[in-house]
Amino acid sequence: MMHKIKGKVVFLDLGPGSWGILGEDGRQWLPVEMPNQLKVRDAEVMITAKESDLDSMIMWGVPVEIVSYHTLPRV
């Protein structure tokens, strides 16, 4: 299933650490492979992602594969 997500990048201090996206609707998304450009705490982003069947040791959010993305300007 595809999702268009607007949200904020968060660093998850769980285990070795990981990156996630907190949607503006409060939903939690866990990118399987977070692009380096998005690895900025509190960056506002817009992504298109599809749900992933991969399992993760990080018990946070819905695992997704990012299809496209861009950062939003800070206001």
Taking all residues of the chain, what is their mean pLDDT, rounded to a whole number? 93
**Single pTM value for the model:** 0.90
Chain-centroid distance of CA 13 in Å reads: 14
Identify the residue whose tokens are 């998304």: 29
Q: What is the pLDDT of residue 69?
A: 97
Domains and CATH numbers, the chain: 2-69 (2.40.50)
pLDDT single digits (tens) 6-25: 999 999 998 788 999 999 99
Map 17-71 to HEC letters.
Answer: CEEEEEECCCCEEEECCCCHHHCCCCCEEEEEEEECCCCCCCCCCEEEEEEEEEE
Mean pLDDT of 17-45: 96
